[in-house]
Chains A and B, each alone.
Chain A
Amino acid sequence: MASKVLMKGNEAIAEGALLAGCRHYFGYPITPQTEIAAYMAKKMPKLGGTFLQAESEVAAINMVIGASAAGRRAMTSSSSPGFALKSEGLSYLAGCDLPAVVVNIQRGGPGLGGIQPSQADYYHATKSAGHGDFRMLVLAPNSVQEMLDYAFEAFELADKYRITAMLLSDGTLGQMMEPVDTATKVPGPSIDKPWALTGTGEQRPPNLVNSLYLTPEELEGTVFVRYDRYKVIEEKETRYEEYLTDDADIVVVAYGAASRIAQNAIDAARRDGLKTGLLRPITLWPFPKKPLFRLAQKATAFVAAELSMGQMAEDVELAVRCQRPVFLCRRTGGVMITPEEVLQKIREAALGQDPAA
């Protein structure tokens, strides 16, 4: 552990991006993610990269589109209200099959909401990031080390699948400090981008980055091809962590900061003799449906613990195909769930009550 340093989650994200070779950051200040911009503003000039404070969230995501279209690793970061504004660009990124990394350090909503931690952008991130049929690959770290690791990984995945990878986190993880090992990250072999706009040099036909198709069948065709790729991502890139699930009667499902709180509750439940485990989705899309369905064959009930009103719980119900009751432990608006609240739900679940009752 001697090689570890204390870092804030937001700084770890920025460091992970730099380790991945990202040299183009475009952003707009918003609490609680501004440390990412500040870190980039400090580091980028020394690395010969671009840090640009854009005139708006909309401009920032469109600058990412430009830099990505030029074949570079580019990113932006924001917090919830900012991502509503970035929706336009997220859709264009998908329509143009451009790789990009975006970071949402969530705060409470709707509207201007608050600035305290939240997970209420789950729908936006996993189902409805913008207009049209498309997906983002959504990664949800739960420690400062993972903020760095998955920021790094997000660039590799984005390039590999020509998709937007979103790091979906919250103010707790963004603001907290934990020891981080930065030494282990080396980018994989660089991925060829023959589609990139580099100037033709009058040596090759022009490249075009575009999302406009006026013929419905042609447009549908591009969406079909993209969804074939999404299928591969679902098969190969679904990530999750299990904690004490081997003999679990009750399985808690929680991601990000909520999963850390759930861990305390699970430890407490075990001390009470309740066989409880945790399935922590690391990718929120693709959601770990198969492992949840597998667990549903043994477990008697599930508890979804989240900092939103049941947005993730719906995916748990779909994953277990409603074969087991799913209890919901929820707080929102910047209020954290407590281990006691999760433990209470675990007890209710163990009693076999109807969650709707």
Chain B
Amino acid sequence: MSAETKRILLAGFGGQGILFAGKFLASLGLSQEREVSWLPSYGPEMRGGTANCSVIISRERIGSPIVSAPNILVCMNGPSLEKFEPAMEGGGVLFYDSSLINRQAVRDDISVFGIPATQMATDHQMAALANVVLLGKLLRETGLCDEGTAGQVMQDIVPGRKQDLLEANIRALALGFRYEAAV
């Protein structure tokens, strides 16, 4: 696969919207006429256990759908960062929720973005959408798409009857897109 291939791993607790964020990325890839695959971890626990999700977006036929060495990693809890940071491909980009993970990344051969996503989402009365805040930041930093396109993809994957949810998701995307870290 070419370097352009995005091998994305999203990880956190069940219930944080890991699979949804992955589905967003797969849908984005599909809308851009790329080959895509989305593979969840699955387990007996429906909520609260660990969840992760592999997404590949490529111009070429996708072989293994399993992302073991991501070039984009999203972590929404400490154990995920512990487990997956060492596996990242050199030059990769890491996004993590700095309001849930109170340590820095250790790798110096990757780009790192700590975003207090849960805090930001809570401050805006959308505590369940920290995943989408992270997603917004990811889309901007990786250049996967602009804010307008992201809104359209969101419209495709949020059921039409849940209009409130769609609006909240679009606001959460905007928070992420516009977040600048106070370094």
The smallest C-beta distance from B68 to any residue of chain A, in angstroms, reads: 7
The stretch from A153-161, A201-209, A210-218, A257-265 touching chain B is A257-265
Which residues on B sit within 8 Å (CB–CB) of A339?
63-64
The stretch from A122-130, A176-184, A296-304 touching chain B is A176-184
A261 adjacent to B38 (CB under 8 Å): no
A176 adjacent to B30 (CB under 8 Å): no
Which residues on A sit within 8 Å (CB–CB) of B36?
6, 178-179
A178 adjacent to B37 (CB under 8 Å): yes
B44 adjacent to A179 (CB under 8 Å): no
Which residues on A sit within 8 Å (CB–CB) of B43?
115
A32 adjacent to B42 (CB under 8 Å): yes
**In the complex, A1→B36 CA distance in Å?**
11
Flag whether B33 is at the interface (Cβ < 8 A): yes
B64 adjacent to A263 (CB under 8 Å): yes
Choice from B27, B38, B63, B68 contacting A176 with Cβ under 8 Å = B38
Choice from B38, B40, B68 contacting A6 with Cβ under 8 Å = B38
Flag whether A311 is at the interface (Cβ < 8 A): no
**In the complex, A262→B65 CA distance in Å?**
11
Which residues of B in the span 28-51 have a Cβ within 8 Å of any Cβ on A?
30, 33, 35-40, 42-44
The smallest C-beta distance from A180 to any residue of chain B, in angstroms, reads: 10
A176 adjacent to B33 (CB under 8 Å): no
Name the residue on A nearest B19 (C-beta): A177
Flag whether B145 is at the interface (Cβ < 8 A): no
Flag whether B26 is at the interface (Cβ < 8 A): yes
**In the complex, A261→B66 CA distance in Å?**
8
Name the residue on B nearest A32 (C-beta): B42
Contact with A along B53-77 (1 / 0, CB 8 A): 0000000011111101000000000
A1 adjacent to B30 (CB under 8 Å): yes
Name the residue on A nearest B56 (C-beta): A178
B42 adjacent to A115 (CB under 8 Å): yes
Flag whether B6 is at the interface (Cβ < 8 A): no
Which residues on A sit within 8 Å (CB–CB) of B23?
6, 177
Which residues on A sit within 8 Å (CB–CB) of B63?
260-264, 267, 339
The smallest C-beta distance from A266 to any residue of chain B, in angstroms, reads: 8
Which residues on A sit within 8 Å (CB–CB) of B35?
179
Which residues of A in the span 240-264 have a Cβ within 8 Å of any Cβ on B?
257, 260-264
Flag whether A2 is at the interface (Cβ < 8 A): yes
**In the complex, A31→B41 CA distance in Å?**
13
**In the complex, A193→B26 CA distance in Å?**
44
Known: A6-B26, A172-B65. A31 touches B37 (CB 8 A): no
Which residues on B sit within 8 Å (CB–CB) of A6?
23, 26-27, 30, 36, 38
A177 adjacent to B64 (CB under 8 Å): no
A260 adjacent to B44 (CB under 8 Å): no
Known: A31-B44, A115-B44. A1 touches B39 (CB 8 A): no
Which residues on B sit within 8 Å (CB–CB) of A257?
65
A260 adjacent to B65 (CB under 8 Å): yes
Q: Which of A1, A6, A172, A262 has the most CB of B within 10 A?
A: A6
Choice from B1, B26, B64 contacting A261 with Cβ under 8 Å = B64
Flag whether A333 is at the interface (Cβ < 8 A): no
Which residues on A sit within 8 Å (CB–CB) of B62?
178, 260
Choice from B1, B26, B68 contacting A177 with Cβ under 8 Å = B26
A177 adjacent to B66 (CB under 8 Å): no
Contact with B along A212-243 (1 / 0, CB 8 A): 00000000000000000000000000000000
Choice from B1, B27, B40 contacting A175 with Cβ under 8 Å = B40
- 10 closest pairs, A vs B, by CB? A263-B63, A177-B38, A264-B63, A176-B39, A261-B64, A1-B33, A264-B64, A260-B64, A260-B63, A179-B30
B residues at A contact (CB < 8 Å): 1, 23, 26-27, 30, 33, 35-40, 42-44, 61-66, 68
Sample of 19 further A-B pairs with CB below 8 A, known A176-B38, A263-B64: A1-B30, A1-B33, A4-B30, A6-B38, A31-B42, A32-B42, A172-B39, A175-B39, A177-B37, A178-B62, A179-B35, A261-B63, A261-B64, A261-B66, A264-B63, A264-B64, A267-B1, A339-B63, A339-B64
